[in-house]
Structure 1
Amino acid sequence: MLPLLWAMKSAPVIDAEERSTLMALAESAWSDGTDAFPSKKTIAEIAVVDPKTVQRRLRALVSRGLIAEGNQEAAAYIPAWCRPKVYDLMIPYSWYPDIEQVNTERKRRGKPPLTCRERPDLAPAPPRKHRADKGKPRKRTADRSEGRGLAVPPVDNREGGTASPTGRDYKFRTRGLQDPQPSPSNPPQDTPRPSVPPVGGTRPEGGGTDGESVSELSPGVELLLAIGSRDPRFLLTGRTLRDQGLMVTGMLLEGWTPQQPEHVIAGRPLPRPVTASVGAIVARRLRDANTGPAPSTARFPHQPDHVGAGARPALAEEWVDQHAVDRYRESNECDGQDGLCGRPRRPGSTLCWECSSAVGAAAFTELHGTAK
């Protein structure tokens, strides 16, 4: 314990590597500092250094007199091929708080007592060597953008982005990536809503559809935007508008008139309470309406029989085959107790989801009352 305390607090070492190496030796030494022989690998693991560093530090400690080669017979029981060298820690005689106790232990081990001549005081640690170029600025080389290496083009601050400042030494605190035009922490909230074309199908100049380009506007998208302009509750934007617009476009190509998808979407109010998004509700209504065949193949008088790739169904309210609409309602809309309720039927049933739930609740109430 005494050698470890001396190595940790009083030994004149230069740096942390010497101190940790000396402490690893002191851990296995007697109280007088003798017979310390851990292997270099063990010292390296304790000091958390490389074994080559341990060799250099041991030579430095021996040259300054902090340790010396001891009695090698203390490690004679270890095979010669892996036997470590035995060292003695030269702890000064004047450092021991109770030298008599240490000499008593040495006498029990058959050794003579320590004296001031055998353990003189140690010289203080020499000053630590510093790098020859410490404090000197690094030599400036040619511009990094010229010659070898990757050239970093300058960043236009007007368009934002990051910039890497050049120059200065490694102690300059403001090096690293910098944002010459940082974005505001709170973006503006008054973002424009998607432009809604009028009923006639024309779009205002410069109008957009929340990320949809003009080339992506299909007939179904225009019809959905027209429905949203008349009833903002069913206004769709973004990806939902694009996906449902494709479905409506397919319905129009199969023979649906523009008024029929509008009736499917906005012919009945939104459920209360609203537990899903408007896009999900519209998608469900269109999906239910597409479970059956197209309600009619009748087209507008001015529309050709074959709709080409560039043709679009008209969005204006024009003449419609009313008989075809009536036949569609009779075959695809709910047949409730009070007549047609206007909702699409459930697949495989003549009632919609709401009327089916109402009929089931009424039957349960009647059965429950009969049981009582």
Structure 2
Amino acid sequence: MLWAMKNAPVIDAEERGVLMALAESAWSDGTDAFPSKKTIAHIAVVDPKTVQRRLRTLTARGLIAEGNQKAAAYIPSWCRPKVYDLLIPYSWYPDVEQVNAERRGRGKPPLTRDSRPDLAPAPPRKTRADKGKPRRKKPSQPEGRGLQVPPVDNEDRGTTSPRGGDCKSLTRGLQDPQPSPDNPPQDTPRPSVRPEDAQSTGNGRTDGESASELSPGVQLLLSIGARKPQFLLTGRTLTDQGLMVTGMLLEGWTPAQLEQVITGRPLPQPVRKTVGAIVSGRLRDANVSPTPSAVAFPDQEGHTATGTSHGTREWIDQGAVDTYREENECDGRDGLCGRPRRPGSPFCWECSSVFGAAAFTQFHNAAG
């Protein structure tokens, strides 16, 4: 942990944060670190995509390498993280003999200068392409502020800007004394609307879209809002979430399943976000998981596991996983350590060394 915090040849704070997150769960020799990318992102305060990129760069520069994947074999395969080793140089350890004694207890060969050589210094950070170059000066602002419209001396067409009066005068501002052929009508339809559809439909729509042209997702959201007004969406939010619902319908979701996703839980009290944001979050969370019709059933009587284009997941007995972890994981840190136990002890090597040092200090203080 100290090597990752102070001495590792990293380029920036993101690399140091990722390296420290790995070192926090590794042995003292840097081996068997397998926190998930989500955990690393939480510790380093970066995005999981950034974690993936930084792991690649750290591996390419030789600071870390893929370790023994059997160390995480007790985790189910569908959520098992990759195991990494931190290649801490041999010359950095002030007590390398103690580290090698720990490795011998775990059945691993001792560290040597050949197996853990010194690392190259970090490459220089890329500088900005415009560093040292003078910036462009902004064009000088004309005198006065705001919109300036010169008066137009035209009695037949165009606009006029009369002078005089104050802020409360009715004679200030632009005036249109006619309409003339040179001024386009104010009700010109938008370019995205066909001329034949530019008429108002009488149902409050001005863009030429009739109720019969609504997407299936919008229709489903409107029907849900009609039955449960607290989930009613309108405007741009209705259009955007309608696209999401339409895509999920095409992927195999049924209207009943989507209605359960949206309205299955009541709105939080008090409501601190808009209803559109709440519906968007629930749809986004549901879309991450596989389609319900594509999930495999366990091998039980009356159920068959059918595969789809989305694939199937292996059925995991969570009770067996919990039992295995209780029998094989360290009890230190109030059961939160999670490292494999030392043979013949309920604690791992690191927790055993911590408890041994504490007991020795207590005995020494009592004897003194």
Is TM-score (shorter-chain normalized) higher than 0.5? no
The TM-score with structure 2 as length reference comes to 0.38
- Higher-Rg member (1/2): 1
The TM-score with structure 1 as length reference comes to 0.38
